[in-house]
Amino acid sequence: MEYEIRQATREELDIAISWAANEGWNPGLYDGDTYFSTDPKGFFMGFLDGQPISSISAVAYNNNFGFLGFYIVKSKYRNKGYGFKLWNEALKHLPTQNIGLDGVIAQQENYKKSGFVPAYRNIRYEGTGIETLISDPNLVSMSEINFDKLLSYDNSIFPTSRPIFLKSWIQQPNSLAIGYVKDSVIMGYGMVRPCQTGFKVGPLFADSKDIANVIFQKLQNFVGKQNRIYLDVPEINKDAMELTKSNVMKPMFETTRMYTKGIPNTPVNKVFGVTTFELG
């Protein structure tokens, strides 16, 4: 049987997203357009006799930073070398970048063999929305915030600048993106979007635990008490871990954030919610 590897189209990315849903990763309903627009050449798929059996993303934000995700081989084709061939092909797309990924426990030893070094654990927490109305004069709709100011704040926390991703991400349908602005200074922002199950927060960046909590509760209120809400938290941020406890959330599963060229010098203490396990 012939095994062909090539760049995936936008429509084929939807196949990978459906596989991710089947794996229980709970992707967002509208993530695909944002992911693909960030790097249209960064998605790969393996085809066996013309049928898709494997996927991976190797998204280049720029020449310095990239991120791997969607590494999936359909179950009946696993442990046959198809995934490893796809993996090696995808890495060619990121020749100069420090590459990050969020590795599930079962694959972490394999990632180490490919040069990835563990940085810290990310833990997914599950909770519920709330009916309580959250009113704070510093909470501002993202539509009222100058995008360049938002990008500057995001640049101070995320490992690299991501204007294409960010502009698309905060405009997803049926979502809420809000900032915390005081004296014209952005001190935090958060986004919640609909997923296969419930709603997922990401990112949740803030200068303090109190600011993060106000933003998070506003996002909870948007979701409503009848829906589940999910938050991916860096374990090394103790304030973020405390936020999950105070909002009565329970851990579901974990990944390990790993990098090829060292841990970026970023303020993880301001990361209360990871943007996405697929793109960082």
Does 55 share its domain with 184? no
Q: Is the pLDDT of residue 1 over 90?
A: no
What confidence score (pLDDT) does residue 209 get?
98
First to last CA, the chain: 35
Whether residue 116 lies inside any domain: the answer is no
Residues 197, 144: Cα–Cα separation, whole Å: 29
Contact call for residues 198 and 32 (beta carbons, < 8 A): no
Residues 24, 39: Cα–Cα separation, whole Å: 25
pTM attached to this predicted model = 0.96
Show the DSSP H helices in the chain as ranges.
Answer: 10-22, 31-38, 82-91, 108-113, 147-155, 163-169, 209-223, 238-246
Tell me the pLDDT tens digit for each residue of 214-272: 999 999 999 999 999 999 999 999 999 999 999 999 999 999 999 999 999 999 999 99
DSSP 3-state helix, strand, coil percentages of the chain (rounded to 5)?
30, 35, 35
Domain count, the chain: 2
Average pLDDT over residues 133-162: 97
Residues 38, 91: Cα–Cα separation, whole Å: 17
Neighbours of 143 (CB within 10 A): 10
Whether residue 280 lies inside any domain: the answer is no
Tell me the pLDDT tens digit for each residue of 50-86: 999 999 999 999 999 999 999 999 999 999 999 999 9
Q: Is the pLDDT of residue 88 over 90?
A: yes
Neighbours of 98 (CB within 10 A): 17
Whether residue 41 lies inside any domain: the answer is yes
Contact call for residues 134 and 230 (beta carbons, < 8 A): no
Does 134 share its domain with 188? yes
CATH code of the domain covering residue 23: 3.40.630.30
Average pLDDT over residues 162-180: 98
Does 131 share its domain with 180? yes
Does 129 share its domain with 258? yes
Is 280 strand, coil or helix?
A: coil
Does 252 share its domain with 205? yes
What confidence score (pLDDT) does residue 259 get?
98
Whether residue 107 lies inside any domain: the answer is no
Residues 263, 69: Cα–Cα separation, whole Å: 18
Does 202 share its domain with 68? no
Radius of gyration of the chain (CA): 18
Whether residue 172 lies inside any domain: the answer is yes
What confidence score (pLDDT) does residue 120 get?
97
Residues 172, 178: Cα–Cα separation, whole Å: 13
Does 53 share its domain with 183? no
Does 75 share its domain with 178? no
Does 69 share its domain with 157? no
Whether residue 109 lies inside any domain: the answer is no
Tally of residues, the chain: 280
What is the secondary structure of 152-211 as a DSSP string? HHHHTTSSS--HHHHHHHTT-TT-EEEEEEETTEEEEEEEEEEBSSSEEEEEEEESSHHH
Helix pair angle (238-246, 209-223), 10° resolution: 40
Does 44 share its domain with 147? no
Does 144 share its domain with 91? no
Tell me the pLDDT tens digit for each residue of 187-205: 999 999 999 999 999 999 9
Residues 166, 102: Cα–Cα separation, whole Å: 20
Whether residue 279 lies inside any domain: the answer is no
Q: Is the pLDDT of residue 90 over 90?
A: yes
Q: Amino acid identity, residue 134?
A: I
Q: Which structural domain, as residue segments, surrounds residue 171?
A: 124-273
Tell me the pLDDT tens digit for each residue of 100-123: 999 988 889 999 999 999 999 999
Strand 117-128 and strand 228-234: the pairing is: antiparallel
State which of 100, 135, 164 marks the end of a domain: 100
CATH code of the domain covering residue 137: 3.40.630.90
State which of 100, 132, 154 marks the end of a domain: 100
What confidence score (pLDDT) does residue 106 get?
85
Whether residue 45 lies inside any domain: the answer is yes
Does 28 share its domain with 61? yes
Listed residue (38, 31, 30, 27) closest to 65, CA to CA: 38
